[in-house]
Amino acid sequence: MKRVVNAVVFDADGTLLDTREFILQAYEHTLAAYGHTVPERDFIRGHMGLPLHDCYNVFAPGGDNDALCHMHDVFQKNNYELIDSYEELVLTLDTLRDRGFKIGICSSRTNHLLEALERVGIKDHCDVIIAGKDVTKHKPNPEGFLKALMAMSVSPDRAVMVGDTPQDIGAGKNGGAALTIGVTHGFGTREALIEMGADHVVDRLSDIIPLL
């Protein structure tokens, strides 16, 4: 028997937004520009979902973290064309809204989130948008997830968390979500999502609709 849910909270990067090249190229460009070894893409992907500063502490230990993050930010500001949307994105959100679900976004991204959402045409589909700058603790801490629900006046046991990384699933689990759903088209692997305890793992956004 399906649980009664009133809201769906989505991660942004790798879940709603195909920002794989937008993010990976920013890391590669920045690390190379400062003379750091550029890790394999699978290694970079394995750290997605963490705050930017934390990632650069891993990728460039001992480096000038503030300078690296600034160059990363400048690269992305000049390369919005690398952002794409996933298949059936707008259709999925429209279907959820037509069925009465509230829609929130909880992202670790601090910069360029609104611009990215506008680029793919979904900013106005969201009832609330929580970015990295809006919280003091990042996923898998549930602060952002719970803050989104509070803004929508929805209790965690009536909400679903959807994301592409273990951190997203962890945020939903730690926040008491009724359901957590992992998607495989972003940065995380199916195995990692299952290991974190996702209730369901799907390959496409539209696959979540029958689960609600």
* pLDDT in the model for residue 108: 87
* pLDDT in the model for residue 112: 83
* pLDDT in the model for residue 2: 64
Catalytic-residue membership of 199: no
145, two tokens: 């997830």
Domains in the chain and their CATH numbers?
A: 7-19+83-211 (3.40.50.1000), 20-81 (1.10.150)
C-alpha–C-alpha distance, residues 63 and 34, integer Å: 9
pLDDT, mean of residues 169-184: 98
Residue 200: pLDDT over 90: yes
* pLDDT in the model for residue 110: 77
Contact 192, 39 (CB under 8 A): no
C-alpha–C-alpha distance, residues 54 and 207, integer Å: 32
The predicted-structure confidence for 12-53, as pLDDT tens digits, reads as follows 999 999 999 999 999 999 999 999 999 999 999 999 888 899
Return the amino acid letter for 194. Answer: I
Cis peptide before 140 (omega within 30 of 0): yes
* pLDDT in the model for residue 91: 95
The predicted-structure confidence for 133-158, as pLDDT tens digits, reads as follows 999 999 999 999 999 999 999 999 99
Helices (H) and strands (E) counted in the chain, each on its own, are: 9, 8
Contact 197, 177 (CB under 8 A): no
Residue 1: pLDDT over 70: no
Across all residues in the chain, what is the average pLDDT?
Answer: 95
Contact 144, 134 (CB under 8 A): yes
The catalytically annotated residue of 11, 18, 164, 168 is: 11
Q: Can you list the alpha helix ranges (DSSP code H) found in 46-129?
A: 52-59, 65-77, 89-98, 113-119
136: buried, middle or exposed (CB in 10 Å: 19+, 13-18, 0-12)? exposed
Share of the chain above pLDDT 70, in %: 99
Share of the chain above pLDDT 90, in %: 89
13: buried, middle or exposed (CB in 10 Å: 19+, 13-18, 0-12)? buried
Q: For residue 102, give the DSSP letter.
A: E
